[in-house]
Each structure stands twice: as structure tokens, then as C-alpha cells.
Structure 1
Amino acid sequence: MNLFVQGILWVFDPAHYVGVNGIGTRVGQHLLISLGVLAVASVIAIPLGYVIGHTGRGRSLAIGVSGATRALPTLGLLSLIALIVNVGLIGPFVALVVLAIPSILAGAYSGFEAVDRRAIDAARAVGMTELQIVGRVEMPLGLPLLIGGLRTASLQVIATATLADYVGGGGLGHYIFLGLKTNDYPQMLAGSILVILLAILSEVLFSIVQRLVIPAGVTAGRPQDVRVKSTRSRAALG
């Protein structure tokens, strides 16, 4: 029997949905880790990105730090933190937060930078304060790019959160590491399939949200390619 089919059958086997290692429990752990990481990374990266985008200061430093952070080996960072704080969820959680920050930070400040400067000048001309400009102009117009940064970070975190079980943090990585240890390849493939499904679900949800947060005034101002068929007959045109 094909290995891929065996992996799918493993996922749909009712016996694998019960107990502490059941699929429902492991999926819940994986989602909880991923959402927690995105929340903490957002609290750190979004305000910092907004300050950089609004003032234009520190952009080069942010790009340099983000690039250096992306280059860090996640497994090595995870192992190092786990050795410092002991085995458990804290090590992979901190490592995943470090991984998620660059994408969210880039989405936050690039969203502000993409705002038409004439809109900001007009807001200042009508007497808006800097906080009002941030809250009423830059944040709504820059929100789609911020969601795009969260979308990228979500994919990275969901895929990399499989490493959490490497140091006893739980999640869907349990099936991959346990299958590797016991040569149970259908279980390894099943764990990979579940992670892929979560990543696809995240991509779909964030793409929908990214479209919904585009301000109505922006979409209304886009040119539409509407071609009206001529009412004249081909004979008349000839």
C-alpha cells in the first residue's frame, strides 16, 4: 500500500483520536502554541513597527535586526533556550516569538510607508494631531499589509512549531519525532499532513481577512476594467 495512503488512513483512524496523545489534543496544543506566539510577537512588533513607519526613524536598524533574526537557526536557538530555561514549552515559545517578530514588524512599518503622503498632509492640513493621523489614517490604510505580515508569520510559526515537541513542548511534532524514533513512517506522514492542513487553513483565513480590512474608499477608487459590448452589428461595423 502506498505510504501516502497509509498516512491518510492513520489520520482517519478513530483509535488515534483518544487519550492524551490523540489528534484532537495535539492539534489543540499546536494551535494554542501558534496563537500564543503570534499574540506575544504582535504585542512586541506592531507598536515598534508603527513608530518606525510613522517617524521614519530606525528603519535601517529594524531591517538589519530582522535579517539577522531570520538567519538564526530555529532548532539551534530552541535548543539553546531550552538548556537555559529547562526543557518544556518556554524554550520553543521564545524561539518561535523571535521567528515571528520580523514578518510582523515588516508588515507594520511597510503598511505605514505605503500610505500616500498626500493623505497624511491633508490630515495635518485639517488640524489632525499626530495620534489622530496614526489612528484614523495610517492604521486603517496600512492594515492590509500588517495582516499580510501576520499571514506570513502564521505560516512560519505553524510549520516550525513542530519543533516544540523536540524539547517536550507538545504539539503535532510529537507524531513526527515519535514516528522517526520508532520507524513508524505512516505516523510521521500523518503528523506532516496535519501540519500542512493547519497551514492551509491559516492561509485561507488570513487571505479572507486581508481582503475584508481594505477600506471601502480604497476599493471604490480603484479603476475597473468594464468593457461594454458595442450595440452595432458586425455588418454595420464592416
Structure 2
Amino acid sequence: MTDILAAFGWIGDPANWSGPSGIPARLGEHIVYSLLTLLLAAIIALPIGFAIGHSGRFRGLAVGVSGALRALPTLGLVIYLALLTTNLTIVPSLIALTILAIPPILAGAYSGLESVDRAPIDAARAIGMTGWQVFTKVELPLSLPLVIGGIRSGGLQVIATWTVAAILPVGGLGRFLFDGLSVQNYPEVLGGSIIVVALALVADGLFAIVQRLVVPRGVTAGRVRDSAEGGRSAARPVPEGAPTT
């Protein structure tokens, strides 16, 4: 309890809220790094995932590659790329974390398209839509909640693992952890961890809101109508003497 109070005391100290090493500066760096990593991973993973989900081809290969990438150790990959490129800037960390963010985004993309009901797809093709029109007007809108879910999972992973990347001389909230450990300033270490957790919770909440907003209005209305009809059917009285099943 004392350590937690000390950590919040460190967070509330005005001296830690100014300068290039202050909480706002480190938080801004962490957010920029995370957004850049997520953007690069999405640019790579989404087109591949959409192609797999739309065509149904190479799904087994995608699952295998995703599993292999998930098994890579974050810290080991960051250090290996730093040694391989002889570069101690943000580049090795950015490459490593982009690689690790690809699997959940890729899985969300192809599983989202695979989850779309075949009936609207067949109807769209029956009225003469091209493959691209079927994808953009039917498959993509209906799959967006799962696609955003994959990006959500990747985003939370990126926010958490960018703290590990601070083993190299880069910015971000991970600096509080490594710099605090080096001088045994444990309130700083715990305070930095609390800020990372708070950032992840805020990001998760925002992604959850986006997931709800991207659900097509017709799908939501259909669910409400089905629920209402089911409720009315359940409440409808059975006439006396009527046969029951």
C-alpha cells in the first residue's frame, strides 16, 4: 500500500510534469510510437487478411504464420534487430513491434470476412455486383466489428510492449521503468506502470466505442426486431385445449 501511495505521489509531483522527460512528453511519445506501429501493421495486415477472407485461399498459411509471429519474444526480437542493423534508434523497436502487431490484425481481417452470412453475398452477386463491389458494399461493412476487434487487440499489445522497447535509448513511458530501475527509484517504476495501464484502458474504451458504432444500422435493427418478435411469441397465450408440442 505504501508503494502505491508513493507511486501516486510521484505521478502528482509537479516536477515530473515538465521538461522533455516529464510525464506529458513521455506520454505523447508513447502515443505517437503506438499509433505509428499500429498504422504500419494495419497497412501490411489488412489487405492480406481481406484477400484471404474474400477468396478463402491461403487461410491455413495465414494461421501458421500468425502463430509463429505471436511466439516471437518481444525483448529478444528488439535486441536482435538492434544488433543486426547496428542502429540504436527507434527503427529496430518499430520494426519488431510492427511484426508483433500483425497477427491479431490479420486474424481480425480474415475472420471478419469469413463470418459474414453467405445470403447477402449471394444476393449481391445475383443482382450483378462485381467482386470489388461485393467486398466494399457487403462484406467489409458487415465484417467491420471483427476487423476493429483485431485492431483493438493489436493496439493494446502495442501499447503494452512499447514499454519493453525502452531498453534501447528511445522515448515513451518505458523510460520511467528502465530509468527508475537503474537508480532504484521504485515509485517512478510503479508510477510509469500505472500510467501505461491507464493509457491501455482508455484506448480499449475508445476501441470498444468504435466497435459499437461501426455495426451497420440494419444489422442492429434486425437484432432488435428479432428479439421483440421472440418476446411476443414467448408471451403469446396458448388457447385452452390447444395441442402442445
Q: TM-score, normalised by structure 2?
A: 0.91
Structural RMSD (CA):
1.3
Runs of 4+ more than 6 Å apart: none
Cα offsets for 1:36-63 (capped at 9, x unmatched): 0000000000000000000000100000
Which residue matches 1:224?
227
Q: Does 1:23 align with 2:23?
A: yes
Which residue matches 1:111?
112
Q: Does 1:5 align with 2:8?
A: no
Residue 129 of structure 2 aligns with an amino acid whose one-letter code is: M
Which runs of 5 or more structure 2 residues have no equivalent in the other structure? 236-245
Q: Does 1:215 align with 2:228?
A: no
Which residue matches 1:63?
63
- Mapped to 2, the partners of 1:12 and 1:95 lie a distance apart of 33
SS in 2 for 1:209: helix
- Mapped to 1, the partners of 2:92 and 2:207 lie a distance apart of 27
Q: Does 1:195 align with 2:163?
A: no
SS in 1 for 2:75: helix
- Mapped to 1, the partners of 2:130 and 2:147 lie a distance apart of 23
- Aligned-pair identity in percent equals 53
Q: Does 1:161 align with 2:159?
A: no
Q: TM-score, normalised by structure 1?
A: 0.94
1:139-158 matches, cutoff 5 A: 139-158=140-159
Cα offsets for 1:186-224 (capped at 9, x unmatched): 000011000000000010000000000000111111132
SS in 2 for 1:72: coil
Q: Once the 2 structures are TM-superposed, how far is the Cα of residue 227 of structure 1 from its aligned partner? A: 5.8
- Mapped to 2, the partners of 1:169 and 1:59 lie a distance apart of 37
Q: Does 1:93 align with 2:94?
A: yes
SS in 2 for 1:15: helix
Which residue matches 1:235?
none
Q: Report the count of equivalent residues.
A: 229
Which runs of 5 or more structure 1 residues have no equivalent in the other structure? 231-238
Residue 80 of structure 2 aligns with an amino acid whose one-letter code is: L
Cα offsets for 1:16-40 (capped at 9, x unmatched): 0111101000000000000000000
Report if aligned partners of 1:81, 1:91 keep a CA contact under 8 Å in 2: yes
